[in-house]
């Protein structure tokens, strides 16, 4: 049994006891002779009072807990109007049921006064229940948000580690330094530019650690530095076309998201002078699109854990989904801007 249903049972019992206690005092006064009454039906009425209050409270809790979930799709004031109307209907129906039970058990005759008494009593119970369910729902949402923040921090840390690991990977460093060595021997100006871009790449990773989202402009600059090194390594085997709309540059995107998709394309595809890899980075209304021609390596398996991790980060940060599509000739990833 979940905590909220334990709360419902406990508070329903408390409500029932609180409603019965004043009448227990009245019964004691009758027994002591302070009040003259020959009504021997008071004890059964106390039992009836206890169980009707307990039952109405339990049902009200169940109804309100279910409403909180079912009304999540309704936003604004309409949600509260629907909840108010539904609770008033519940109060009226429950009062009518209690009156029917009172007629059957105690043969009461004054139906209208009894209905009004039970209506306002059940209304008071429902108001208390609504307040409690609101607090319980608030606590649960705060707890869920805390869990999502911790999950996002974990995913961010995993992404930072994966990106840093890929950049300090022995194969990456060996290939990078080999490329740098050939540039130093053949073209000093390109070697200086290569070193500058390499420094920019590592500076971005170190300076922006821990950030959830970064401007598209900064992420794109980081990716361009990374691609500069890759193009020097693969030469005519790698073509990159970038076409991002100006208004997108100040929007934000999860850190390393573009780099993960681009690196994924380079890592999982054959790149050579005869089989060039073409990567296109462009934007539409709400997404940045990264696509490449598909020529998978024999050892390649799927699209990599990086995209799965990135998809979870997107959902935790903004409840948005990345869209990945592929066929025999093309791979495409659509990254929503935030």
Digit-coded pLDDT (tens) for 1-41: 677 888 888 888 998 888 888 877 665 555 555 544 445 44
Beta bridge partners of 278: 239
Chain-centroid distance, C-alpha 96: 41
Helices assigned H by DSSP within the chain: 3-32, 42-70, 77-106, 111-168, 170-186, 188-207, 216-234, 257-268, 305-318
**Closest C-alpha to 201, from 174, 168, 178:** 168
Tell me how far apart the alpha carbons of residues 291 and 294 are, in angstroms, rounded to a whole number: 9
Tell me how far apart the alpha carbons of residues 246 and 255 are, in angstroms, rounded to a whole number: 19
User: Which tokens sit at 283?
Assistant: 């934007």
The Cβ of residue 238 has, within 10 Å, a number of other Cβ atoms equal to 21
CB 295 within 8 A of CB 237: no
The label of the residue with tokens 């681009």 reads 262
Helices assigned H by DSSP within 107-169: 111-168
**Closest C-alpha to 268, from 232, 233, 321, 304:** 304
**Closest C-alpha to 121, from 189, 209, 22:** 22
SS3 250: coil
Tell me how far apart the alpha carbons of residues 62 and 65 are, in angstroms, rounded to a whole number: 5
DSSP codes joined into one string, 19-38: HHHHHHHHHHHHHHTSS---
pLDDT of residue 168: 41
Angle at 128 (CA atoms; ends 127, 131), nearest 5 degrees? 90
CA-based Rg of the chain, rounded to a whole angstrom? 34
Q: Which residues of the chain have pLDDT under 70?
A: 1, 25-42, 68-69, 71-76, 148-192, 194-195, 197-198, 200-211, 299-306
**Closest C-alpha to 290, from 258, 246, 256:** 258
Mind listing the pLDDT tens digit for each residue in 133-163? 888 888 887 877 777 666 666 666 655 555 5
**Kind of pairing between the strands at 213-215 and 252-254:** antiparallel
pLDDT of residue 302: 46
SS3 187: coil
pLDDT of residue 266: 83
Beta bridge partners of 282: 243, 289
pLDDT of residue 165: 47
pLDDT of residue 273: 79
pLDDT of residue 35: 46
The Cβ of residue 251 has, within 10 Å, a number of other Cβ atoms equal to 18
């Amino acid at each position: 049994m979940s905590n909220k249903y334990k709360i419902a049972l406990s508070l329903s019992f408390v409500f029932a006891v609180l409603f019965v206690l004043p009448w227990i005092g009245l019964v004691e006064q009758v027994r002591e002779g302070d009040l003259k009454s020959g009504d021997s039906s008071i004890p059964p009425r106390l039992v009836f009072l206890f169980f009707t209050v307990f039952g109405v409270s339990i049902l009200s809790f169940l109804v309100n807990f279910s409403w909180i979930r079912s009304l999540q799709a309704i936003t604004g004031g309409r949600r509260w109007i629907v909840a108010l109307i539904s609770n008033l209907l519940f109060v009226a129906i429950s009062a009518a049921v209690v009156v029917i039970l009172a007629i059957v058990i105690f043969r009461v005759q004054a139906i209208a006064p009894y209905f009004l008494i039970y209506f306002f009593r059940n209304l008071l119970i429902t108001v208390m229940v609504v307040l409690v369910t609101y607090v319980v729902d608030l606590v649960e949402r705060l707890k869920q948000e805390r869990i999502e923040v911790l999950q996002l921090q974990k995913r961010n840390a995993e992404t930072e580690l994966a990106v840093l690991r890929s950049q300090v990977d022995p194969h990456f460093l060996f290939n990078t330094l080999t490329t740098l060595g050939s540039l130093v021997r053949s073209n000093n100006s390109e070697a200086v530019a290569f070193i500058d871009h390499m420094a920019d790449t590592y500076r971005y990773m170190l300076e922006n650690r821990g950030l959830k989202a970064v401007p598209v402009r900064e992420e794109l600059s980081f990716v361009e530095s990374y691609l500069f090194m890759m193009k020097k390594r693969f030469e005519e085997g790698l073509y990159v076309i970038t076409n991002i709309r100006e208004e997108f540059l100040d929007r934000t995107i999860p850190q390393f998201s573009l780099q993960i998709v681009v690196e994924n394309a380079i890592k999982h595809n054959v790149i050579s002078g005869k089989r060039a890899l073409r990567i296109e980075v462009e934007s539409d209304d709400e997404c940045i699109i990264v696509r490449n021609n598909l020529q998978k390596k024999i050892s390649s398996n799927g699209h990599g854990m990086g995209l799965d991790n990135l998809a979870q980060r997107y959902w935790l940060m903004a409840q948005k989904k990345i869209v990945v599509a592929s066929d025999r000739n093309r791979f495409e990833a659509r990254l929503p801007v935030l």
